[in-house]
Amino acid sequence: MSVKVYVAVFAVLVSVTGVELALIGIPGISRALTITTLIGLAGFKALLVAAFFQHLKDEPRPLSTVLLVGLVIVMALMSISFLQLHPPQS
Amino acid sequence: MAVSNTADLFNQLFNTFTTLAIIVGVVVLGLMAFLVVRFRAKASSPEPEDTPTLGRIPQARGHLKTVIISLTLSSIVLGVLIFGTLSATTQITTIPTECAEVPSPCLTIRVTASRFKWTFTYPNGYVNDTVVTIPTGQIVILEIESTDVFHTFGIEGFRIKKDAIPGLTNKIWFRANEQTSDIIRCFELCGVGHVVMTSRLSSVSPSAFQGFCSTTGC
Amino acid sequence: MRVTSPSLKRWLFSTNHKDVGILYTITSLVFFFIAGSLALLMRYQLSAPFGRVLGGEVFNTFVTMHGLLMILWVLSPLAIGLANYFIPLQLGARDLAFPRLNALSYWFYLFGGFAMVLSFFFGGPNTGWTLYAPQSACTDPLCSPPGINVAAAGLILLVGSITMGSINFIVTMFKMRAPGLKLKYMSMFPWAILITVFMMLYAFPSLLAGLILLYSDRSFPGRLAYLSTAQGGNVPSLLWDNIFWFFGHPEVYIVLFPAIGVVGEILPTFTRRPLYGAKYITMSIVVAAVISFIVWGHHMFITGVSPLTTTLFTVTTIAVSLPFDVMTVSFMETLFRAKIRLKAPVLFAIGSIALFVIGGITGVFLASIALDQHLRGTYFVVAHFHYIMVGAGILALMGGLYYWFPKMTGRMYNERVAKLHFALSFISFNVLYFPMFLLIEMPRRVYFYPPDTGWAPLNGLATIGGLVFGFSQLLLVANLGRSLRKGAPAGPNPWDGWTLEWAVPSPPPLHDFEQIPVITEDGVVHLAGGEGHPLASGIGDGHSIPHSSHSSRWPIVVALGAFVFLLGLTMGSGPPGILQLTPGVVIGLVGLYGYGKESFIVHEDEKVESWPFKAISRMRFGVWTFLASEIVFFGVLLSAYLFVRINSVAWPPLDYFDIEKGAINTFILLTSSLTAVLALASARAGARNGLVASLLGTMALGAYFLYNKALEWEELAIGEHLTPMGSIFDNFPLAATSYYITTGVHGVHVFAGLAMIAYLFPRVLKGAYLRHQSETILYFGLYWHFVDIVWIFLFPLFYLI
């Protein structure tokens, strides 16, 4: 991978961070949407760092699965502990 | 009819589980014992054709059919158990709707866990930390909380428990069917006094309970 | 010192998998007797009402230590010992992928055990092995004694041991299989171990996160408050309940699956038939492993959480019986039309299955929310899990010990004594534990009971069973100990087994195989060179045994450093001073430096089976696997933060945290990621100056990040410029706790990265790590970028919402 690619990815990372900072300044967006967008943007940045800086996109696919399983497991903990005290009201 | 509605629910379900458990256990363990005896090695028994030997990967053995049959049979048994569980659970955990009426026909008593005793506080402020007196035939709601650590409130004969957790108020409900004296214990290790953290539940007739309320204020 | 001499030095420094396996096995048996003695004393105390051999505090400590030691220092390590010895052999390999890391795992485990024993003398943990909050986190003398901190140190060392071990086994099993040994050709023990180590990788980080929360709360009482108080909407009991059982439930399956693997090894050998439905058994273990991560809530049925979640958990927990049914039926079918040679190993294996059936059936009782309303916290639960862990677990592992003893020692044990051991154990086990199913009304962890409860007869019976069971285990030790010297000589394959360990001498030579076996498409296993042998056509590792290292003095030094450091961290009360931490740091750094500088030879064969990880080197795979565990670790830390935040009534307003500083730090870390990857590019291109500059840049940026963070920490603690004014600890204790702990742990990771650069730097200046040697820079980068990714999530979650 060339230096140009690294710098380009870096530029995107910086820009997206700028978007995050700008986002919280915009009035009128619901909290839920702000949070979701911020987490989504963070996830996007993480993917870029992983895919390009860690070269994950060039590794065997099962490796990404090993990492993804960890993430899924942790999401199960987060979502269930949330639902334990805040179940959707019918 | 058992000492409380909760005891009834538990006993019925427990009996179902136990019956199935005994049947399954006896069949499986009996079969195992039979297989071990029947197929133990004797001088006369022939060497099987597919004996795994060093130098060869063993032949595959087995049928998907067996897996499917055992999964199906198991699912049927487990399905019964899940159904029984869910229906009993709903009854145990759903506070009857009539308690929401005003005035409520249900008696609500606050139970406070602390090291190492249970303190009962009645609606009008009467406090007792050795025995909780309730009337038979009436729905009783217990609001369970803790002032210090994680305890678990359990009434032995009534077959019901709930955790007493700092920061939460948990509720259980039941209806006593007969006059009885039951024992209350703590079921989560809370310190050295865990074992002596006991109390009593006394269910008395409605008239006796009225007398109790007139003397204590309830 | 010869690597095979019987000297102490050999055992302290050996990295050979057989030695490490023996160390694990023997150590686990020692802990078995220690924890078992605790149990016998408890049983003696409970044999009659008002038994007064043990006081309440001592009893509570005994019951806690018994649980922790048995689960973490006996059951898994015994399996790991057998796995260490036999997995390389069964895979046709000569050692694990990272032999020194393997030795390090053992020493961490042993020193962790020392810490546990030490904690006894500081008033050990007394909350039960489950360490429930808030009692475990509260430090006033009425609550829990300071020994919990030292026990936490021991547990942290154990988590380190297990994480290193799981990484080692994962890489080994994917990257070191003999040519032609496809995954589907592996026998049941390797499969069970493979699944187990993945579970370990994903489950133990949760325990580590919990221990860090526990330790932090206890060290800074009044300031940090995740687990110690229920103020501000926080429910410490639930938080710990989730984090602990999220680890705890998979953990009990981690303890069980190797035993199932051993049963799957023993049955074919002694029934003279292949395992019935071997591939379905394997699939079932995988399914059960997956489901095991979503059943933890069955420990929380009556905590007052939403019916939505309890219903989910009751269904998943009851459903997890299904894969176990398939396993049991398959094992039983294996016996059908078999020719069963009833020797000790298979007696233990079959006994294990039988007791597993009882344990599993009773588990379904506990899986029912409705039944749990009465069974919770009673001896019914105690009976259930002992049937699984001792009945199914220990018995199978003992069967494995007998099975593999001849291979490990070249001697046969005494069969009659072994059969006596089995009979006594099996019968007394049931006398000990079955009565407990009938003690439905007796609470757990009580140190006496009044006579009017009527519990005395069953307790007395259980004690008799316990005494017989406990003392019967001496037969195992006596038998194996004596047979070690006086047993009949055993050849390479006394049982006529088919797996590869039976192809080598008993005991195997240092290098295990003269020639690595080769398996051809027709399922034939070619064991030694010869005409028409695949080795002649160039497959396999040729005719000479490659030179590999088998010992290193550094693992024990590093482990000692970690041990001393953690003791320094936990032995006093309150936050530790620099003086307490220095010895451990010094020893650890000396050890790590020596470890890094040492030239340790690990031979790597090119012609191994490595699907599906062919295109990744062992080390890179190992580093990534480590990062997978870090994902879970940080994920649990974040879950703790989100848990208290979502449930809190008062949280700092949006502009409370210094968004500017946070943003600057984000840009700093992103830039440092760029410099880190540019360092790699320079290294690959052979540009020494570029590498020097990029690494320097990364280090400077990382240091600046930490400097900013330190300023932030100070500001928040003092609180002069905050709105509302005042220390964050006073105004928003929960926000303080989550912020300091999460950014603190992240900061430690940043610091570790800087330490790595500091270590690499002198060599970089001399021109190391260029071109073909640039892999080290890559590994550093993988770690550094991960630390950056964590911050990428931390920043919005703490500063922007």
Rounded-to-integer distance, Cα C340 and Cα C338, Å: 6
Residues of chain C positioned with their CB less than 8 A from the CB of B141: none
Nearest to C234, CA basis, from B167, B170, B169 = B167
For residues C178 and C517, the answer to whether their CB atoms sit within 8 Å is: yes
In DSSP terms, which residues pair with B110 in a beta bridge? B121, B143
- pLDDT at position C499 over 50: yes
pLDDT of res. C571: 83
Q: What pLDDT, in 10s, does the model give residues C415-474?
A: 999 999 999 999 999 999 999 999 999 999 999 999 999 999 999 999 999 999 999 999
pLDDT of res. C528: 72
Rounded-to-integer distance, Cα C56 and Cα C63, Å: 11
Q: What pLDDT, in 10s, does the model give residues C577-627?
A: 888 899 999 999 999 999 998 999 998 887 899 999 999 999 999 999 999
**How much of chain B exceeds pLDDT 90, in percent?**
93
Overall number of domains in chain B: 2
Mean pLDDT, chain C, whole residue set = 94
**How much of chain C exceeds pLDDT 70, in percent?**
97
Whether residue B124 is contained in a domain is answered as yes
Does A7 sit within 8 Å of C674, measured CB to CB? yes
Confidence band (pLDDT; 50, 70, 90) for A39?
very high
What mean pLDDT do residues B110-120 have?
96
Whether residue B123 is contained in a domain is answered as yes
| CB-closest option in C339, C371, C502 to B13 | C371
For residues A87 and C308, the answer to whether their CB atoms sit within 8 Å is: yes
- pLDDT at position C532 over 60: no
Distance from CA of A56 to the nearest CA of C (A): 10
Rounded-to-integer distance, Cα C106 and Cα B197, Å: 42
pLDDT of res. C573: 67
For residues C411 and C270, the answer to whether their CB atoms sit within 8 Å is: no
- Give me the DSSP letters along C773-799: GTHHHHHHHHHHHHHHHHHHHHHIIII
Confidence band (pLDDT; 50, 70, 90) for C138?
confident
- pLDDT at position C543 over 60: no
pLDDT of res. C536: 43
Both B194 and B104 in a single domain? yes
Q: Which domain holds residue B181?
A: 97-216
Whether residue B61 is contained in a domain is answered as no
Rounded-to-integer distance, Cα C151 and Cα C115, Å: 6
B170: how many CB neighbours lie within 10 A of its CB? 19
Confidence band (pLDDT; 50, 70, 90) for C539?
very low
Task: Judge residue B186's burial from the number of C-beta atoms within 10 Å of its C-beta, 0-12 exposed, 13-18 middle, 19 or more buried.
Answer: buried
pLDDT of res. C535: 46
Task: Judge residue B181's burial from the number of C-beta atoms within 10 Å of its C-beta, 0-12 exposed, 13-18 middle, 19 or more buried.
Answer: exposed
What mean pLDDT do residues C684-689 have?
94
ipTM, two decimals: 0.97
Classify residue C166 by its DSSP letter.
Answer: H
Whether residue B182 is contained in a domain is answered as yes
Query: Superfamily assignment of C19-248+540-559+590-649 in CATH?
Result: Cytochrome c oxidase-like, subunit I domain (1.20.210.10)
Both B148 and B70 in a single domain? no
Both B78 and B111 in a single domain? no
Contact of B23 with chain C, judged by CB distance below 8 Å, is answered with: no
Rounded-to-integer distance, Cα C112 and Cα C72, Å: 10
Both B125 and B154 in a single domain? yes
Contact of B59 with chain C, judged by CB distance below 8 Å, is answered with: yes
Chain C window 265-324: which residues touch A at a Cβ cutoff of 8 Å? 293-294, 297, 300, 305-309, 312
Q: What pLDDT, in 10s, does the model give residues C144-166?
A: 677 899 999 999 999 999 999 99
- pLDDT at position C542 over 80: no
Rounded-to-integer distance, Cα C647 and Cα C304, Å: 14
Query: Is the CATH number 1.20.120.80 carried by domain C655-801?
Result: yes
Phi, psi of C336 (to 5 degrees): -70, 130
What mean pLDDT do residues B103-131 have?
95
pLDDT of res. C771: 92
B-interface mutation test, from C302, C407, C453, most B Cβ less than 10 A away? C302
Distance from CA of B216 to the nearest CA of C (A): 30
Cβ pairs bridging A and C (under 8 Å):
163
- pLDDT at position C123 over 90: no
Chain C window 623-662: which residues touch A at a Cβ cutoff of 8 Å? 624-625, 627-629, 631-632, 635-636, 638-639, 642-643, 646-647, 654, 659
Does C615 sit within 8 Å of A49, measured CB to CB? no
Does C202 sit within 8 Å of A73, measured CB to CB? yes
What mean pLDDT do residues C761-773 have?
93
Rounded-to-integer distance, Cα C462 and Cα C429, Å: 9
Chain C window 575-634: which residues touch A at a Cβ cutoff of 8 Å? 612-616, 621, 624-625, 627-629, 631-632
Whether residue B44 is contained in a domain is answered as no
Confidence band (pLDDT; 50, 70, 90) for C139?
confident
pLDDT of res. C142: 66
Task: Judge residue C610's burial from the number of C-beta atoms within 10 Å of its C-beta, 0-12 exposed, 13-18 middle, 19 or more buried.
Answer: middle
Q: What pLDDT, in 10s, does the model give residues C697-717?
A: 999 999 999 999 999 999 999
Per-domain boundaries in chain C: 19-248+540-559+590-649, 655-801
Q: What pLDDT, in 10s, does the model give residues C469-481?
A: 999 999 999 999 9
Domain CATH for B133:
2.60.40.420
Both B109 and B144 in a single domain? yes
Q: Specify the higher pLDDT residue, C379 or C569.
A: C379
pLDDT of res. C232: 82
Question: Within 13 Å, how many C-alpha atoms sit on residue C638's CB side?
Answer: 24
Q: How many residues belong to chain C?
A: 801
Q: Specify the higher pLDDT residue, C752 or C604.
A: C752
What mean pLDDT do residues B81-92 have?
96
| CB-closest option in B84, B156, B168 to C304 | B168
Spatial CB neighbours of B14, under 8 Å, sequence gap ≥ 6: C365, C371, C374
Chain A window 12-71: which residues touch C at a Cβ cutoff of 8 Å? 13-14, 17, 20-21, 23-24, 31, 34-35, 38-39, 41-42, 45-46, 49-50, 52-54, 59-63, 66-67, 69-71
Residues of chain C positioned with their CB less than 8 A from the CB of B184: none
- Give me the DSSP letters along B88-131: HHHHHHSPPGGGGSSS-SSEEEEEEEETTEEEEE-TTS-EESSE
Tokens of C663: 């943003």
pLDDT of res. A90: 62
Both B104 and B196 in a single domain? yes
Confidence band (pLDDT; 50, 70, 90) for C799?
very high
Whether residue B56 is contained in a domain is answered as no
Both B126 and B78 in a single domain? no
Closest C-chain CA to A37? C796
Does A46 sit within 8 Å of C306, measured CB to CB? no
Chain C window 250-279: which residues touch B at a Cβ cutoff of 8 Å? 268-269, 271-279
What mean pLDDT do residues C763-792 have?
95
Both B165 and B73 in a single domain? no
Rounded-to-integer distance, Cα C525 and Cα C517, Å: 7
The last residue of one of the domains, among B47, B79, B94, is B94
